[in-house]
Amino acid sequence: MTETAAVPASPPTIDADPFAAEHLENPEPLHRQLREAGPVVRLSRYGVHALARHRQVHATLVDWQSFQSGAGVGLADFRHEKPWRPPSLLLEADPPHHDAPRRVLREVLAPLALRRLSEEWQTVAEDLVEAVLTEQGREFDAFDVLAKAFPLRVFPDAVGLGPHGRENLLPYGNMAFNAFGPRNALVEADARRVGELSAWVNTQCAREALSEDGFGARIWAAADRGDLTPAQAPLVVRSLLTAGVDTTVHGLAAALYAFATHPEQWQRLRARPELARVAFDEAVRWQSPVQTFFRTATTDVDMAGTRIPEGGKILMFLGAANRDPVRWSAADRFDLTRDPSGHVGFGMGVHQCVGQHVARLEAEALLTALAHRVERLELAGEPRRHLNNTLRSWASLPVRVRPAR
Ligand code: OVM
């Protein structure tokens, strides 16, 4: 008998378009199909390989040597296509270029650096919840008045943005997250605002546009110390403005949706508000606000019996991995008693979300304030999704509450 190494065979092929409205609206059926089809599948529509199981998504995220980000983490291959904006120094870069920007931003957004914000954000959250209950009564759109309102109240100030044009932040992020997908109708719809929104964002990244005590100023201080070049600093600020708003808005919406549809979990949080952080991570696992990212193979890579060719794009379904029944028991259940650590909703490895402590602090402030003031939380109508090529996002989340006495 001769032992033969597994010969790479062609993987199962699926012709569904994961960026079609039907799948963006309700991704779980396609995710199940992809996970069950095999560890690696071929998406004929886009000529890419795709991963939907936790094991392969995780393995790909942590292997930056074989799976680069520098060719873009969307469908577009930056080696052959001109990116829609200068590439991000964090997201769309690999070591060693990635190292200095990453180190600077990690320090600016480290838990210790956020401590001074914690009390203030708690107060803002308490005031916001109080104002919503007073002004809106018992029924309101929790997406508008909480999930959108809270990050927009605290994050731009923390960065040090000026007062004007903040309404551009969400549309800019929406555009950036659409741009990771194919050039479909969602990207077309953004096209007429690219110039205007990019110009506004780029202007805000200048040292002069930023207050002296925010994240932005700290990034510029790193340039003064020589930890970044003066040309890098504005692009690092741009990463905050691109990745820091829509993600937390839709992540908070995911958490509110989870609680509005799981009353027993709301009672659990009410009884133990210190669960707010783990609840947010569980909501990130359960909904995966960032659904997908791509990598590009730096060399021929054999994965679970499939050869991924050098230069090939690989689509990682973070949302599918986060509900892989092999990794998670009762994966579809939103459950505060589980340990959600190991989810890939913030990614994994050298690119794992550098802003995750900021997101958790925002979530902790808002959920804790709500847990103290709201006895019952339920849906008051059909939630509506907003479609985006990458973000699992929301248009409205009508809720009914009963305030605590
Ligand atoms: C960036 C960035 C980082 C993470 C996500 C993202 C648009 C962007 O560095 O600009 O999504």
Query: How far apart are the C-alpha atoms of 340 and 95, rounded to whole Å?
Result: 28
Residue located nearest, by CA, to atom 4 of ligand 1 = 243
Residue 9 has pLDDT above 80, yes or no: no
**Which residue's CA is minimally distant from atom 9 of ligand 1?**
239
Domain-embedded: residue 1: no
Q: Average pLDDT in the 132-138 region?
A: 96
CB of 245 shorter than 6 A to ligand 1: no
Task: Say if residue 2's pLDDT is above 80.
Answer: no
pLDDT of residue 362: 98
In a domain, 318, yes or no: yes
What are the pLDDT digits (tens) for 169-188?
A: 999 999 999 999 999 999 99
| Average pLDDT of every residue of the chain | 97
Write down the pLDDT at residue 405. Answer: 80
Residue 213 Cα, ligand 1 centroid: separation in angstroms? 23
Q: How many CA atoms lie within 13 A of 389 on its CB side?
A: 25
Q: Tell me, what's the pLDDT at 36? A: 98
Backbone φ and ψ of 290, nearest 5°: -95, 115
- For residue 119, tell me if it sits in a domain: yes
Residue at 169 is within a domain: yes
- Tens-place pLDDT, residues 267-292: 999 999 999 999 999 999 999 999 99
Q: By alpha-carbon position, which residue is closest to atom 1 of ligand 1?
A: 239
Mean pLDDT (whole number) for 184-193: 98
Ligand 1 geometric centre to CA of 91 (Å): 6
CA 53 vs. chain centroid, Å, equals 19
**Domains in the chain: how many in total?**
1
Ligand 1 lined by 239 (C-beta under 6 Å): yes
Question: What global pTM score does this model have?
Answer: 0.97
The residue with greater pLDDT, 9 or 188, is 188
Angstrom distance (rounded) from CA 207 to CA 85: 20
Question: Region 245-254: what's the mean pLDDT?
Answer: 98
* CA dihedral for 301, 306, 309, 315, sign (positive or negative): negative
Q: Could you read off the pLDDT of 77-107 as tens digits, one per residue?
A: 999 999 999 999 999 999 999 999 999 999 9
Q: What is the rounded CA–CA span in Å between residue 318 and residue 215?
A: 28
Residue 231 structural domain: 13-403
Nearest CA, atom 6, ligand 1: 243
Q: Which domain CATH number covers 118?
A: 1.10.630.10
Instruction: For residue 57, tell me if it sits in a domain.
Output: yes
Encoding tokens for residue 256? 């509110």
Give me the pLDDT at residue 74, please. 99
In this predicted structure, what is the pLDDT of residue 109? 98
Residue 61 pLDDT class (50, 70, 90 cuts): very high
Residue 1 has pLDDT above 60, yes or no: no
